[in-house]
Amino acid sequence: MHDERRRIEERVARLHDQRIKPAIYAARVPFEVAAWQAPGEPVPFEEAAAAPYAPFAMDTPWGPPWGTTWFRMRGEVPADWAGRRVESVIDLGFVGDWPGNQAEALVHLTDGTPLKAVNPLNQYVPVARPAAGGEVVEYLVEAASNPDILANEFTAPTPLGDVRTAGDRPLYTFRRADLAVLDEEVWHLDLDLQVLRELMRELGEHDPRRHEITHALDRAMDLLDLDDVAGSATVVREALKPVLAKPAHASAHILSGVGHAHIDSAWLWPIRETKRKTSRTFSNVTALADEYEEFVFACSQAQQYEWVRDHYPHVWERIKKSVAKGQWAPVGGMWVEADGNLPGGEALARQLVHGKRFFMDHFGIETKGVWLPDSFGYTAAYPQLARLAGNDWFLTQKISWNQTNTFPHHTFWWEGIDGTRIFTHFPPIDTYNARFSGEELSRAVRNYAEKGGATRSLAPFGWGDGGGGPTREIMERARRLKDLEGSAKVEIEHPDAFFAKARAEYPNAPVWVGELYLELHRATYTTQARTKQGNRRSEHLLREAELWATTAALHAPDYTYPYEKLDRLWKTVLLHQFHDILPGSSIAWVHREAEAEYARVAQELTALTGEAVAALGTGAPRVFNTSPRDRAEVVRTPEGAPVYVQVPANGSAPLVPAEPPQPVTVSGRCMQNGIVRVQVAEDGTLSSVYDLRSDREVLAGPGNLLRLHTDLPNYWDAWDIDKHYRNRYTDLLEPDSVTVVEQTPLVGAIRVVRTFGKGSRVTQTITVRAGSARIDIETDLDWHETEKILKAGFPVDVRAAHSSAEIQFGHVQRPTHTNTTWEAARFEVPGHRWVHIAEPGYGVALVNDSTYGHDVTRTVREDGGTTTTVGLSLVRAPRVPDPEADQGRHRFTYALLPGAGIEDAVAEGYALNLPLRVADSAGEPEPVVSAEGEGVTVEAVKLADDGSGDVVVRLYESRGGRASGVLRTGFPLAGAEITDLLERPLTTAETDGNAVPVQLRPFEVRTLRLAVSR
């Protein structure tokens, strides 16, 4: 047989694209359209319905950036359409090839009932099936003219990322608003051809199945009447039935398909627009569920459900019905799909608590998995936290984006820092927006790493980010691919069903131990530093407010614990931990609003703490210590005078001076306190940090060396820092001034001022305090650079085989060498409050109050010694998607801690982030709880969420070893239970009076529920 594949494929392509597709809609009549441009922000339906509308013609420009235009549409179904399937087809002037991040609309009936959204790849609204003829169709269409931020492929800055700079030029040209007849037979023929053509192209040129499909398509096209496509569609489909009916091979890979519509809670649009995106997509999904009984849609992010519940009650009721029918699957169990590295430990716990509770309260469903496909790496604390929240499985996809190394598994057990394992899956289809194309199915089979051990994978399908979710076309593809020779099999099912089958099939799946580090998007640990600082500060203010509110509730009879306020504030903080807000990868509008929200949260939480402390009574000044360690340190009185005080963990003490171990002395640019001696060089760097206790020099070069690097990654400016940033830099070694600014027996401080670059200015105050080895570097930075990153380097004279960085409820160790590509790829890594490096017998820590990104490198000096250098990433200056990212004022503190073990790093990390509070108080209550035993660390103290008055304490082992200790209560204890994160009992805890013995494995997290004896 002659090879005529090229002729046949080109013939089929032309007939399909040029004749069959245009015949899908058999007839059209235009709507009468009028328009009203809403002023400013979106308005409720009732206001839009009462607005004045003006006639609007097709091919007319509309929609300023971030604007809302309401269209009133009226049409009548022609009488001769009776018995046909009639739809409305609306094209707002969609652009580009991405179905999200552009114009979208929600179609309402005139009584305000939402019907369905209109999206680039989902432009129809059902009218009648079949039509009677003569129906009058009237809509009010809320159309959002969101700008296409991706239009320049992230190659240049755009002013469109903020309504304040976007201008008012119309972005779109309205193309079509019609009533139309859908020719179902032609539509199905189009889908038959799509599936067969794509499968054919994926099969090998020597595969008989490919040739069978090719010639079947050729014969079928012979039957197509070019003058009557609709009339010949049935006979063409009949000719294709045999080739579509052949079953898949018995060994064919199984794709468990689940509908999905990943909607970023903010990204290239503000939060207010996400509220509308969810309503549009969820309207589409519930409409699709009515049409396809096998359809299952997985949807995470309780926050988005709450928005729809509060703003779109009609859509909310439809969601509840779909959930009840089993077609809508709440998943993920988190308040939002949070960043996987940056939220603190208690915040990640609350993400799971608030998310799972929402789904249980509103649907009676307890979600069983963590659904997090699009975060930028995943902390090794996740397995334990997920399991403690009652989850059985974990799903992500993003690790497939690795820049260097291919992750070796798709289905595996993931083991966290404490030894907990959770069954985990990465979809080999490499997308969470699948459409079941031939290329996607072929890629899933080709990528699947578990061949020979397992046979199935998950495939989330549907258009995300405002693209409208799954479509009927995708569902039709799934039906054709359910059992088709040459293809993987597609089964639509709930994610829980997939994970149950996958685990039963592959119980001995391989194990991955430790963090899931994404070898990409490493700059998300640094970009938008004020957003990150707002999160860090909010997390610690929440801890403070909960502790002192609990103290007041137990000891002040007239005090009422602020459940509602704390719940609301937690949810605000959790929302802003979304994986494009906290990482700094959103448009300017998002980060402007985030900074304002954090300021409001700080104000409210500070007031709540003040109210709780005041409830204990007013009297003499007292010092309040929110951290989990006893403290002896210098604090400032309300008048600003330094006082050395001793305060118990989680408790308070009178503002009474204690005798410091040794006073601070300042001589020239040298400060010492009997623990450390610090010498500041003429260039403002630390020329020497001498540990007087160990009689050794800490530094192997200039400390606190500020280095300004050129920082232009290959792609994704706000997200990425590429290794070549290291090759070009300027050391800031010419200070404007180096001045002693404080010299008292309790405090010595030297201030260094530098100006550099494009008018940037940094003022750093280096402080040594009595009784402390910690050397604080308070930084006030006015930043005006572009495409730069500012790092602070500390070369330390230790030979460290690894660095330790705090993560949620523990820490991870990372090698300092680069023997393998896996180690070399970790050239920028995340950490929380501290980084620690050590050789046997001696260690040094760097603690901080708001930075996350850092690098650790080592070199061998000519004298044979090893220098291990920690570089803290302070600020960046990307221009896309926010041209003004990080510009302006920053205030933060980091500190060097010589002679530190892990326990010292933990204690000082808490201390720096939870400064002592001085307030008047007459009460002298015992701490609510105090922990005895090395490594037993209290992370949260609060009242139980159910309003019972029980005290809930979350603690963990913080050193990485076994811990044995006692938790003592400052109130009469009636009993104790060990609970899960949701405060549900797991087992009874042993008690001895007001003491609870505690035994913890390395990094174990434990939640105790303590009943108060009344």
Catalytic choice (290, 374, 430, 630)? 374
- Rounded CA separation 317/308 (Å): 10
- Provide the token pair at 215: 């010639």
Residues paired with 86 in a beta bridge: 128, 181
112 φ/ψ sector (left φ>0, alpha ψ -120 to 50, else beta): left
Q: How far apart are the first and last CA of the chain?
A: 92
**Does the active-site annotation cover 374?**
yes
CA distance 323 to 308: 15
Rounded to whole angstroms, the Cα distance separating 754 from 657 reads 36
Q: How many CB atoms lie within 10 A of CB 501?
A: 17
Residue in the structure block whose two tokens are 């992370």? 939
Within 8 A by CB and 6+ apart from 332, the residues are 300, 301, 355, 367, 369, 370, 371, 372
CA–CA–CA angle 917, 923, 925 (5° rounding):
85
Q: Which two tokens stand for residue 323?
A: 């959930």
Residue 470 in tokens: 């799954």
Cα–Cα distance measured from residue 970 to residue 551, given in angstroms and rounded to the nearest whole number: 9
Sheet containing strand 696-697, strands side by side: 665-667, 670-672, 676-680, 686-691, 696-697
- What are the angstrom distances between the C-alpha of 793 and each of 724, 856, 905? 17, 10, 18
Residues in the chain: 1014
- Bridge partners for 789 per DSSP: 709, 876
Whole-number Å distance between alpha carbons of 179 and 91: 12
Rg (CA), the chain: 31
Give the 3-state secondary structure of residue 726: helix
CA distances from 876 to 153, 521, 524, 598, 725 (A): 21, 13, 10, 20, 12
For 73, the token pair is 């549409």
Alpha-helix residue ranges (DSSP H) falling in 143-183:
none
Of 827, 767, 828, 345, residue with least CA distance to 542 = 345
Of 932, 1013, 942, which Cα lies nearest the Cα of 965? 932
CB of 334 closer than 8 Å to CB of 355: yes
Q: Give dist(CA 722, CA 888) in Å, integer.
A: 24
| Longest pairwise C-alpha distance within the chain | 101
- Give the bridge partners for 412, in sequence order: 424
In this structure, are residues 146 and 77 in contact, taking their beta carbons and an 8 Å threshold? no
Identity of the residue numbered 55: P
State how far Cα 462 lies from the chain centre: 20
**Cα 329–chain centre separation:** 20
Q: Is 763 exposed, middle or buried (0-12, 13-18, 19+ CB in 10 A)?
A: middle
Tell me which residue of 632, 796, 784 sits closest to 704, measured CA to CA. Answer: 796
Which residues are CB-contacts of 725 (< 8 A; sequence separation ≥ 6)?
709, 710, 711, 713, 789
Give the dihedral sign, CA 335/338/340/345: negative
- Amino acid in position 94: F
**At 21, is the secondary structure helix, strand, or coil?**
helix
CB of 967 within 8 A of CB of 915? no
Catalytic residues: 374
